[in-house]
Amino acid sequence: MSRPERALTAIREPEAWAPASWQQYEALQQPVYENRVALDEALVQLRTLPPLVTSWEILQLRQELAEAAEGKRFLLQGGDCAENFADCSSPHIANRLKVLLQMSLVLVHGLKQPIVRVGRFAGQYAKPRSADLETRDGITLPSYRGDLVNGPDFTPESRRADPRRLVEGHSRSALTMNFVRALIDGGFADLHHPEYWDLDWVKHSPLEGEYREMVRSIGDAVRFMETIGGAPMGSLRRVDFYTSHEALLLHYEEALTRRVPRQWGWFNLSTHYPWIGMRTAAPGGAHLEYCRGIRNPIGVKVGPSVTPDQLLRLIDVLNPENDAGRLTLIHRMGAAKIGEALPRLIEAVRSNGRRVLWCCDPMHGNTEGTPSGYKTRRFENIRSELDQAFDIHAACGSRLGGAHLELTGEDVTECLGGARDLTEQDLNRAYRSTVDPRLNYEQALEMAMLIVRKQRAPVAGEEVRGQ
């Protein structure tokens, strides 16, 4: 792949920054390692291991995100809430890639725009928690913080933060990345073909006619391309999928932050596209300090309590050059709050001329508990937040440029509703997430269809603005 020209622009290293300068700031959500020596050993090892991605892939993504911010592409970011080490297996990885690829084809077809495909995978192993400790039957232990930190079993051994997991996480990410690259390079192209689409569920959906028509038309397009190209369509480029994860465990991120030949500055080479979670995005915190110094594009989760002033300060720290591809604001307000919380943020960004990519995460503001103790989300609330997001951006003279979803290629029953109208009883059947509930294969594809439908529908207020 050719190296993007933008790489040479804006050569200015951030002031007084080093990969370890975050250590001078308050770092929330970090595990307590009892054995500092073991932690140091793990970090020394990580520093010498090869990176997972390259600087030119990162710069290419940054360029594509700039185009998304300018309205020329749409970002699809999706995957598990948390990967776990046990699911680093061929079917899991292939199914996750399949659902993301098929969703992206639905979006390409419907939106008539190139899609930037980003997985929450190959490193999404660390989780922020609302409480440091968890109590069950009178016993209190540290919370599970993701496989990069500790284990989910409720025992003292499993819940102890183990630094060897940092090295294990790097290896599992590398294995995932290796298989993803191999699938993209090789036999994965078949998934363009309609016969690989699971269509059973559409019988239950009011979108059935539309969906079958779309799959047929994608099939026609693939056959047409193969006919004129004279070869099977196996040419999805190598980094047509990018990786992302929450940059939470700053020791881990620091150890994979490197300089590379013929480029200025520093890159986090553990992923293309790190994001800062809502709980660690406060101005003045260690996560902002770390992220401001790397050249990767950065996402930041923005919750309903963020004020316009806070948001502008955060943008100043992370994107002082006002570069369009640098910063993605991933709002996650909840269907009930987005109408109130989002417009003032869009207005602040717009009226101050800040260039950002706006993306909607309709999952994390819509989590609820069931009486039987499951964490779930209603398909209708997820859909409603996304719909509202499109409308609010349009009404504010802005554009929603992406969607960030928690999903899996498996047939799980974690979110309620969707075409098969999953109920609370269904949650018992296949609830597998150790953290947040994910859309299953069918629900994810249905959501992609609904995004297309929404984008095609006339936007409220359009006529007025068009006059």
248 - beta bridge partners?
Answer: none
Please count the helices (runs of H) and the strands (runs of E) in the chain. Answer: 14, 14
Helix, strand and coil content of the chain, in percent to the nearest 5, comes to 45, 15, 40
Segment near ligand PEP (CB under 6 A); pick from 36-44, 47-55, 146-154, 272-280? 272-280
Choose among ligand PEP, Co ion, none what residue 128 binds, the Cβ cut-off being 5 to 8 Å by kind: ligand PEP
Segment near Co ion (CB under 5 A); pick from 36-44, 305-313, 390-398, 431-439? 431-439
Going by DSSP bridges, is the β-strand pair 367-369/375-377 parallel, antiparallel, or unpaired? antiparallel
- Closer CB to ligand PEP, 277 or 409, in the complex: 277
- Closer CB to Co ion, 81 or 392, in the complex: 81
Q: Whole-angstrom Cα distance, residue 183 to residue 174? A: 14
| Site string (186-215) toward ligand PEP, x via CB under 6 A | ------------------------------
Q: For residue 160, give the H/E element and its range.
A: none
Q: Whole-angstrom Cα distance, residue 275 to residue 281? A: 10
> Which are the contacts of 250, defined by CB distance < 8 A and separation ≥ 6?
22, 23, 27, 30, 286, 287, 290
| Site string (9-48) toward ligand PEP, x via CB under 6 A | ----------------------------------------
Q: Whole-angstrom Cα distance, residue 457 to residue 372? A: 38
Instruction: State yes or no: residue 81 binds ligand PEP (CB under 6 A).
Output: yes
How many Cα atoms sit within 13 Å of 96 on the Cβ side? 31
Do residues 265 and 295 lie in contact, with contact meaning Cβ atoms separated by under 8 Å?
yes
Segment near ligand PEP (CB under 6 A); pick from 9-17, 33-41, 92-100, 271-279? 271-279
Choose among Co ion, ligand PEP, none what residue 272 binds, the Cβ cut-off being 5 to 8 Å by kind: none
Segment near ligand PEP (CB under 6 A); pick from 51-59, 187-195, 276-284, 378-386? 276-284
Segment near ligand PEP (CB under 6 A); pick from 26-34, 40-48, 274-282, 392-400? 274-282
> In the block, which residue shows the tokens 């294995």?
175
Q: Which of 301, 326, 331, 420 binds ligand PEP (CB under 6 A)?
A: 301
| Site string (124-163) toward ligand PEP, x via CB under 6 A | ----x-----------------------------------
Any idea what DSSP says for residue 72?
S
255 alpha-carbon distance from chain centroid: 22
Q: Whole-angstrom Cα distance, residue 25 to residue 75? A: 32
Choose among Co ion, ligand PEP, none what residue 438 binds, the Cβ cut-off being 5 to 8 Å by kind: none
Rounded to a whole number of angstroms, the minimum distance from the CB of residue 24 to ligand PEP is 23
Q: Which of 146, 277, 401, 409 binds ligand PEP (CB under 6 A)?
A: 277
Rounded to a whole number of angstroms, the minimum distance from the CB of residue 128 to ligand PEP is 5
Q: Whole-angstrom Cα distance, residue 334 to residue 181? A: 35
- Closer CB to ligand PEP, 52 or 278, in the complex: 278
- Closer CB to Co ion, 60 or 173, in the complex: 173
Segment near ligand PEP (CB under 6 A); pick from 12-20, 53-61, 277-285, 369-377? 277-285
Q: Is 177 helix (H, G, I), strand (E, B) or coil?
A: helix
Cβ burial, residue 30 (10 Å; 0-12/13-18/19+): middle
> In the block, which residue shows the tokens 């710069």?
59
Instruction: State yes or no: residue 360 binds ligand PEP (CB under 6 A).
Output: no
Among 406, 404, 420, smallest CA distance to 375 is for 406
Segment near ligand PEP (CB under 6 A); pick from 165-173, 275-283, 338-346, 382-390? 275-283
Q: For residue 88, give the H/E element and its range.
A: none
Do residues 29 and 128 lie in contact, with contact meaning Cβ atoms separated by under 8 Å?
yes
Choose among Co ion, ligand PEP, none what residue 331 binds, the Cβ cut-off being 5 to 8 Å by kind: none
Radius of gyration of the chain (CA): 22
Instruction: State yes or no: residue 278 binds ligand PEP (CB under 6 A).
Output: yes
Return the residues of window 48-87 that contact Co ion according to CB under 5 A: 81
Sites of contact with ligand PEP (CB under 6 A): 81, 128, 277-279, 301, 332, 364, 436
Binding interface with Co ion (CB under 5 A): 81, 436
